[in-house]
């Protein structure tokens, strides 16, 4: 009976993971985050590489969490990878807000005509500061 229970849990977990992964990929594809990033960076010829990197990153990230893989790569490599992950999340967040036209709507409601560049930079630096405080100040999240 235990083997049947484990098999059912594996099938349910696998199916749930596939469902969530499919939803994330569909969300990214529908709102056009990857083409928008490629357009802003001027790297349209690398769209396939971007898509493959997102898929591979999702697979490797999920596998690392599931199988608890340990890579002895050192502190500098971890800091570099964390920086890359942060840049990616920031770029995706900015792309999503641009695609959903949140910034133009917000600027109209706030009657912000000049200084939009500084407004976006302030949002980005606020996220950066919050992330740095979370990771470098022990217990900051629970204050």
Residue 101 belongs to some domain of the structure: no
pLDDT in tens, 53-105: 877 777 777 777 677 777 787 888 888 888 877 777 777 777 676 666 766 77
Write the secondary structure of 3-72 as one string of H (helix), E (strand) and C (coil).
Answer: HHHHHHHHHHHHHHHHHHHHHHHHHHHHHCHHHHHHHHHCCHHHHHHHHHHHHHHHHHHHHHHHHCCCCC
Q: Which domain holds residue 27?
A: 1-72
Residues with Cβ within 8 Å of 119's Cβ and at least 6 positions away in sequence, in order, are 103, 107, 112
Residue 91 belongs to some domain of the structure: no
pTM above 0.75? no
33 within 8 A of 96, measured Cβ to Cβ: yes
Residue 138 belongs to some domain of the structure: no
Residue 104 belongs to some domain of the structure: no
pLDDT in tens, 91-129: 777 767 666 676 677 777 777 767 777 877 887 888 888
Residue 26 belongs to some domain of the structure: yes
Given a cut of 60, whether residue 17 has pLDDT beyond it is yes
Residue 123 belongs to some domain of the structure: no
Given a cut of 60, whether residue 143 has pLDDT beyond it is no
Structural domain count of the chain:
1
């Amino acid at each position: 009976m235990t083997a049947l229970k484990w098999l059912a849990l594996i099938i349910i977990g696998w199916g749930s993971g596939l469902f969530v992964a499919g939803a994330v990929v569909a969300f990214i594809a529908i709102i056009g985050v990857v083409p928008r990033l490629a357009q802003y960076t001027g790297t349209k010829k690398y769209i396939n590489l971007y898509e493959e990197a997102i898929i591979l990153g999702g697979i490797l990230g999920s596998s690392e969490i599931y199988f608890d893989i340990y890579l002895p790569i050192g502190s500098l490599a971890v800091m570099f990878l964390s920086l890359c992950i942060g840049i990616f999340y920031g770029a995706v967040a900015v792309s999503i807000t641009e695609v959903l036209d949140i910034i133009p709507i917000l600027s109209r409601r706030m009657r912000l005509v000049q200084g939009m560049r500084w407004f976006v930079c302030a949002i980005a630096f606020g996220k950066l500061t919050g992330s740095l405080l979370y990771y470098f100040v022990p217990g900051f999240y629970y204050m």
